[in-house]
Chains A and B, each alone.
Chain A
Amino acid sequence: MGDKLRAVLRLLGLYARMDLNWVLQDFKAALIIICAEIINNLTAVSGILLLAVRFGGAGGLSTDEILLMLGFFELSDGLCYMLFGGFNVLHISRRIGRGQVDHMLIQPRPLMVQLLTEGFMPVSGSGGFLIGILLTALAWTRLHLEVTLLRLFLLLLYMLCHILLMLGQSFLLGSAAFRSPVVSEELSTLILDLNGQLGRFPLFGLPRWLLGILYTALPVGLLAYLPSLALLGRVTGAVLALPVCIAAAFMLAAACCFRAGLRRYLQYSCNRYKEMGHRR
């Protein structure tokens, strides 16, 4: 176990160095990409934030509470992309659908270790995470929220749940690409986009049945809305455990489907490439 952990940490260090090297080798391109990422993240939050500013709040939350929700979303999402965004690990259906799992199976490392490490891009992929820290800290200060152990624990726990929910949904749907590579190649992208689009919305005022769906089957409400309500002390009791339970359920289902798909892949593989090198 200790050896495995050391191997994972060594690989993470290696990928971090490669990411830094890439930035240093083509600084202009890296700068453009980092700036673009910052612009993307800022514009993604500004729509709902501007509405909240204009109308003194939105969806049952005040402007500062909306800021906290958006900050939490950027923080967790940014961390998720920083850890798993590289080499399409998060968009796993692309790797599977394009027949690139072959490339992974010939590496002298377990598949799990590769998936845990090769998406790490702490330099070029940190824009969203840094903006998330800034927005969360700003909202935290403006709301005069007390820093307690419980609150910090909830913050870290819900960040972990956010990452697991994203990974779980992406791998669960993405496993379909083992069976139908062309049709399912972009399924992970679709579900991640849906999470990115709806996860930033406050869900106050929705009918109960719809809230039920958005807290379970399509858990966009657990990405930022419910966690921010918990951080604000607006929800208590068993509801606090909902993100943990749903994240665990998605990860379990994803692991089962991914394993079953991989077994099939080991039998049939996937031939998507033309002689010229581009995909069919």
Chain B
Amino acid sequence: MKHFRAWSATARMCLKEKSYFGLANIIAQYLLRAAGLGALLMIWRSLFMQGVDMQGLSLNQVYVYTILSTVLAPMLDVRTPASGWLHDGSVLKLYLRPRSLFAQLAAHTVGGWVLPLAILSLPVLVIALLCGVDLRPASLWFLPSLVLTVSLGFAVDYLFACLLIRLRNLEWVVHDMRQSLTALFTGSVIPFAALPWGIGRFLALTPLGSLAGGPLSIYAGLAEPMTVLAAQLFWNVVLWPLALWRFTSMRERMVSYGG
């Protein structure tokens, strides 16, 4: 209980930290995401309006997939503060506290989810329901898949932090590159089932493809749950030891310019 209180206090601190740039900035950020969601929904709608052969995909399925990718965004692409703190040097403070490094990073990350879930996810869900989108999941295997996605997301994030240490703090480069790669290769924007030449089937089996694409495909009924879960379990087993080993060995290489 004592440990949980310490953990939840850290999560609350992170929630407050998210409002550092003010309300206008927060609202603008979420409007930006909502606009991106709206644009993608319009594209899907226009494809269906043109009478394009969607090869098995229904409009509701792609709507559900796209809406959930925004609603669950923070969990589908886990971003701990590790990379940013390595860049500005505040990662040092984590080593001065009597808590494990990973637990502190996890607390900060989960605290950061509260605001997007409250400000963006809930309103989007309500609006989608009011617009008549059928948001019932195709399979409840979606839930364990989401848990595995979050777990894998932490491991992938620690590996990106290791890459950042290795590249001597090229934070914006790693950030931008990760942003681009995850948008395409995790299936967070376009369902793998909608990609040409069958490349979606290959991507779904990759570590990045096991992130967002896994639970979203199961929820929307676009993929076989057992195949997705097996791939996610496999990558969790492989990437977690790798991330822990690399992070520990990279500790000696940490260099920061202090902002």
Contact = CB atoms under 8 A, between A and B. Distances in A.
Q: State yes or no: do A and B come from one complex.
A: yes
Given A39-B181, A55-B54, A183-B22, A277 B259 contact: yes
Interface in A183-198: 183-187, 190, 193-194, 197-198
Contacts of B259: 277-279
Contacts of B29: 190
B117 interface: no
A10 to B, nearest CB: 29
A276 B258 CA distance: 8
B208 to A, nearest CB: 12
Interface residues of B, number: 42
Given A39-B181, A198-B35, A278-B259, A185 B21 contact: yes
A190 B28 contact: yes
B195 A50 contact: yes
Contact of A206 (B42, B52, B88, B196): B42
A82 to B, nearest CB: 16
Contacts of A205: 42, 45-46, 49
A29 B168 contact: yes
Nearest to A55: B52
B24 interface: yes
Interface stretch (A40-48, A105-113, A251-259): A40-48
B173 A33 contact: yes
Contacts of B22: 180, 182-184
A83 B89 CA distance: 31
A190 B190 contact: no
B252 interface: no
Interface string B1-34: 0000000000000000000111011001100100
A54 interface: yes
B184 interface: yes
Interface stretch (A56-64, A70-78, A137-145): A56-64
B216 to A, nearest CB: 15
A161 B84 CA distance: 35
B21 A186 contact: yes
A56 B52 contact: yes
Contacts of A156: none
Contact of A43 (B24, B43, B183, B195): B183
Contacts of A46: 184
A137 B24 CA distance: 41
B79 to A, nearest CB: 16
Interface string A21-46: 00000000100110011011001101
Contacts of B54: 55
A48 B43 contact: yes
A51 B183 contact: no
Interface bracket on A? 35 or more
B189 interface: yes
A204 interface: yes
A182 B24 CA distance: 11
A47 B39 CA distance: 13
A48 B190 CA distance: 9
Interface centre among A36, A60, A190, A201 (most CB of B within 10 A): A36
B194 interface: yes
Contact of A183 (B24, B36, B49): B24
Contacts of B24: 183-184, 187
Contacts of A47: 183-184, 189-190
A197 B32 contact: yes
Max count, chain A CB within 10 A of own CB: residue among B20, B174, B180, B194:
B180
A183 B43 contact: no
Contacts of B170: 29, 32-33
Contact of A186 (B25, B47, B184): B25
Interface in B180-208: 180-181, 183-184, 189-190, 194-196
A59 B43 contact: yes
B191 to A, nearest CB: 10
Given A29-B168, A55-B52, A206-B42, A277 B258 contact: yes
Contacts of A48: 43
Contact of A204 (B39, B46, B89, B174): B46
A53 interface: yes
Contacts of A180: 22
25 contacts: A29-B167, A32-B170, A39-B180, A47-B190, A48-B43, A50-B196, A51-B194, A55-B47, A57-B52, A58-B47, A59-B43, A60-B46, A182-B22, A183-B25, A185-B21, A186-B21, A187-B24, A197-B35, A197-B36, A198-B39, A201-B39, A206-B42, A276-B258, A277-B258, A278-B88
Interface of A: 29, 32-33, 36-37, 39-40, 43-44, 46-48, 50-51, 53-60, 180, 182-187, 190, 193-194, 197-198, 201-206, 276-279
The 3 A-B pairs at the shortest CB distance, nearest first, are namely A183-B22, A278-B259, A205-B46
